[in-house]
Structure 1
Amino acid sequence: MRLLRDLSASAVVAGFVTVLVGYTSSAVIVFQAARACGAGPAEIASWMWALGLGMGITCIGLSLRYRVPVVTAWSTPGAALLATSAAGLPMSAAIGAFLVCGALLLLFGVTGWFERGMSRIPMPIAAGMLAGVLLRFGMDTFVAMRTQLALALAMVVAYLVGRRLWPRYAVVGVLAVGVAVAGIEGLLALSGVHLELTRPVFTAPTFSASALVGVAVPLFVVTMASQNVTGVAVMRASGYGETPVSPLIGWTGATTVLLAPFGGYTFNLAAITAALCMGHEAHPDKDRRYVAAVAAGGFYLLTGLFGATVGAVFAAFPKELVMAVAGLALVNTIGAGLAAAVRDESGREPALLTFLVTASGVSLFGIGSAFWGLVAGVVALVVLRRA
């Protein structure tokens, strides 16, 4: 079996780090969104079950189908939107809005509208967006030194030694050293961890004009602009531009439709966490990095089945450990993105503008900086080429 032949420890660790970063960075926003929709403890657990199941199935299925690292995620901007716009909305109406959003994602995937638009974006612009999105994570490695100098410094040293002696497993060593140092310093909060299966809760949907206009359409727009655009750009900049986009968008939409009644509010292509599976640290061979996404899918399935337990495990890691391991795992990817962005002199300035706007973190109309970086780069490219 090809998957067993291509299996490697570095890919499995890359998959674990992907899930670790995904959950620790934004799970709290999902909890807030669920509470805004009127969810109690049982419903919140069901949301995590549905999201873990959906991400796990799509990561594994799509990665094995196309033999490329396809990483999906929940929409973090979408969760932030729900936390504000869905307040006071009945849970059933929110579920109806999720179904409509999923149907729109499915429509744009099946028709190929989204892919045709993305195919017009030049590679330097996509690479600049990738580098801008990931820059903060690289810097966070050293930001972590402000509060946990010994931990972060030990992980940096482990990275450098690992890159010198065993490049394929440098991030494995970084994670091991980080956990060991955190344990020695008493930073691992494992007391709240207990094994518990999650039980899904079905909520029958209802549909209303207010939920359609106020939740469904904005959720779709934010997911497409802030998540899927960036996700496709990361795939292209990482050397997987030949992968058909439309089926990926279509399957995330179909998964949303199926799991929305249980709290799977939306699924989309990942960007930051996808870069962890698409970089050199996952595997030197580009054609074997899909295993990292399959491993991430397996860990996502576990997070769904044991939602409360896994949430407690991830919460046990100090934030500085997560910041450092994510930043160090992305160093090569950031460098590759910058190199691709400035390689062509004719597109260098638009690509750098894309990078700077994206890295700035500016957010307008509820849409994140990655989208506005893309807009700035395309506008600059058109103006400068005409000039």
Structure 2
Amino acid sequence: MKNRKGFALGLLFSLAIISTDGLAQNYRSEHHTFTLETVATGLRHPWSIAFLPDNEILISERSGILRRMVDGRLLSDPVSGLPDITASGQGGLLDLALHPDFAVNRWLYFSYSHGNAQGLTTRVARGRYESGELTNVEIVFEALPRLPGGRHFGSRLTFDPQGYLYVTVGDRGQETRAQQLDSHMGTTVRLHDDGRVPQDNPFVGQSGARPEIFTYGNRNGQGLFTHPLTGDIWQNEHGPRGGDEVNIIRAGLNYGWPKVTYGINYNGTPITDLTEAEGIEPPLLHWTPSIAPADMTYYNGTVFPEWQGDIFVGALVGQKVQRLRFAGTELVEQEDLLTQFNARIRDIQTGPDGTLWLITDEPNGRLIRLMPI
């Protein structure tokens, strides 16, 4: 039976600070001692990191700017060729993902919010990237219907081992749409790399259902990765007040929002009295109270050998990083890191150098690397 106690499960270790000289301080976790290295500053609400070949890093800024780092230096000139982006509320230029064959085809994928007279929506586009320029930009997905308001765009991207693209789409603040298959809101969609619908998607041919939908009942997924050993798609999503979740995304399943949740409304009133129900996939983990989970990464580097196979989650409201260890689908260990760092962690990734990289969601956002001691 799956454990549904969430935060209470496993071992929760507190972080000890060894020295106190700003970012240069050393941190001791349960398994490793590390320090923080500031790689870049001056980023305006950065959202995502993409590691390219040839020692280049791309960083999206929510305002609609795509920044470049080349050989460790943040360039002043942004990437050219982006389409029209509507930076409104939680929207703007959001996630970045490389095509699995990027080294050959140079396709860079990016999600963003786009507005017109019918409202706002989540879009995914791709373009061929070379030396600071995007060309041949084309839209591969647009969430429908368009809606007013600037909340819950979702927008995380990942590719599975077969080359399918997964996209999270938030409920846009209209929670009941997450249970309606005629809407992309509150879903995870699955596409071919050019935006075509795979014919084995679970709702293809079902009357009134959008064929791109892979799962539904997802409130606002902002963490997503493909497990390198199993190929499973892992996702976290924001609850309201409480009820943030970690799930493995499987075809056709209903993840419950808003029929089933551990969270409550922001004004303190109940959403539902159900925390589980028949036909609803229970979370592997829930955070109550909420930490507002952002992106997540599976650590498969060698720099921190005792963290091999652990999952790291950035937290916005929680202003920390949480390390999770699963044995299959059972949570066996969790640990809070950087609890006194006092910054919203928007993205966290395992870098090609085997270290952990994160960005802070601030007007003067930072790109930071966790280095072993």
More strand per residue: 2
Fold shared, TM-score > 0.5 on shorter chain: no
Decide which structure has greater helix share.
Answer: 1
Q: TM-score range by the shorter chain?
A: under 0.3
Scaled by the length of structure 2, the TM-score of the pair is 0.25
Ranked by relative contact order (alpha carbons within 8 Å, sequence separation 6 or more), the top structure is 1
TM-score normalised by structure 1 residue count: 0.25
